[in-house]
Amino acid sequence: MIGITGGIGAGKSVVSRLLRAKGLSVYDCDSQAKRILNESPELREAIARRFGSHCIAPDGTIATKEVAKIVFHDSVARTWLNHLVHSAVREDVARFADRHPDPVFVESAIMKTSRLYLQLDAMWVVSAPEDLRILRSCRRDGVDIEQVKARIDAQSSEYADFGDIPVAMIFNDDSHSLLTQVDSLLDPLLL
């Protein structure tokens, strides 16, 4: 499995879309974590026991705003929730990889925090200048510069030191061809 990571606004989702357009299998951790939380009765029950039944919406899904209110102010609660979700995602990634032909790609902004990088054979880190990342994120998410800078700071330790895992850099700075870089990384994998 190959990880695709990078900070907010770097373009990891663009790289993932390119790979999907080529017919390759990409696991998006963000969307799949939400699916897992809402489909797993065990996870919903654990959240309700820990945080209260108000954290489950009337339709049975996770009331994310209620959970966010709790974990935003309580680091112990946030650590507990992250452990619960990251464990479930790691297991789901392994099942996904078993069901799909190689190469399989895993997209996540938090490979180190989630410990997903330990399941990978290689890592592609998508990089872009901070000012461009801020501009992209503000436009895409409708947030202000300070919110984006806070996320950049919070994620800064996620993209270095993956141990012995080979790392390839992809520069998404509008002066390098993203497609050319992805194709050159794919060539040896598709032989």
pLDDT score recorded for residue 3:
96
Residues 150-184 have pLDDT tens digits of 787 877 778 878 889 999 999 999 888 999 999 99
| CA nearest neighbour of 126 among 3, 1, 6, 19 | 6
Contact in structure between 169 and 123 (CB atoms under 8 Å): no
Encoding tokens for residue 102?
């190689």
Encoding tokens for residue 176?
């390098």
Residues 12-23 have pLDDT tens digits of 999 999 999 999
Residues 141-155 have pLDDT tens digits of 777 888 878 787 877
Q: What's the rounded Cα separation, in Å, for the pair 117 and 133?
A: 23
Contact in structure between 117 and 11 (CB atoms under 8 Å): no
User: Mean pLDDT score of the chain, rounded to an integer?
Assistant: 90
H/E element holding 2? strand 2-5
Name the 3-class secondary structure at 6. Answer: coil
Contact in structure between 140 and 185 (CB atoms under 8 Å): no
pLDDT score recorded for residue 120:
96
Encoding tokens for residue 76?
């112990």
Q: What's the rounded Cα separation, in Å, for the pair 187 and 191?
A: 7
pLDDT score recorded for residue 1:
95
Q: What is the mean pLDDT of residues 109-113?
A: 90
- The CB density around residue 172, as the number of other CB atoms within 10 Å, is 22
Confidence class of residue 131 from pLDDT cuts 50, 70 and 90? confident
